[in-house]
Amino acid sequence: MTVSASENSSSSSSSLAHLAPLQAVLFDVDGTLCDSDPLHHHAFCVMLQEIGFNGGVPITEEFFIENIAGKHNDDIAEILFPGDRERGLKFCEDKEAMFRKLAKEQLKPIDGLYKLRKWIEDRGLRRAAVTNAPKPNAELMISLLGLSDFFEAVILGSDCERAKPFPDPYLKALEVLHVSKDHTVVFEDSVSGIKAGVAAGMPVVGLTTRNPEHLLMQAKPTFLIKDYEDPKLWAALEELDKKSGKQTDGA
């Protein structure tokens, strides 16, 4: 059996204890709260095929991961329609409408999400969603997951001077919540998002929801987890609780 990147990283760098006392938890949305990438991929496939993109050959998952996943629509528009920004942005807007229809029927939380939610609530931690998703998408996904009352703030890449992979959205979240980067942890699933959290000076726990582990590791997450049931996460939270002088529930 081969050792995965996440397993290999766990022995040396999977500690969050230096964050004690933890003040806040920041979450990306797509792929981090819910496994939404297959819905995005499907919407892009269908709509790009309709306009004859790539000679009508459907885009591959590799193309999606490299050029689309985790990126802001401004950047996606430029990649798909270089030199025709207006057309690109209109295409992305129509694609998001298709995604929202799919999400209403098929969106599901990442395993263990509500267990982690309880852990966060029990400790009275501050929390925000930080996303490159358009506002209608972010609000819909958070609502469908039953998390509208959980998040104190939703920070959009489009509301910042620069979206992820730049640190601006995460820096804004710290400012809005009035918390320190030295006592805040980030959960992300994309290279773009991990880079943003790391650039903002925070430890990032990466989820291997859809993106390849070797690519995520290049963005320098503290460690990787499969989902929120992963024993590696709960071991780190238990250690953090001990450093803070608190008991861990459900670890």
Domain ranges of the chain: 5-35+109-244, 37-106
28 counts as catalytic:
yes
What pLDDT band is residue 245 in, cutting at 50, 70 and 90? confident
Which of 152, 153, 154, 160 lies closest to 137, judged by CA? Answer: 154
pLDDT beyond 90 at 231: yes
What pLDDT band is residue 2 in, cutting at 50, 70 and 90? very low
| Angle subtended by helix axes 135-144 and 85-106, to nearest 10 | 10
Output the six-digit token pair for 185: 């942890």
Strand, helix or coil at 207? strand
Under CATH, which number does the domain 5-35+109-244 receive?
Answer: 3.40.50.1000
| Measured distance CA(155)–CA(60) in Å, rounded | 30
241 counts as catalytic:
no
Direct distance between the N- and C-terminal alpha carbons of the chain, in angstroms, rounded to an integer = 26
pLDDT (average), residues 97-113: 97
pLDDT beyond 50 at 4: no
Considering 30, 35, 168, 189, which one is annotated as catalytic?
30
Q: What is the pTM of this model?
A: 0.88
pLDDT (average), residues 172-190: 98
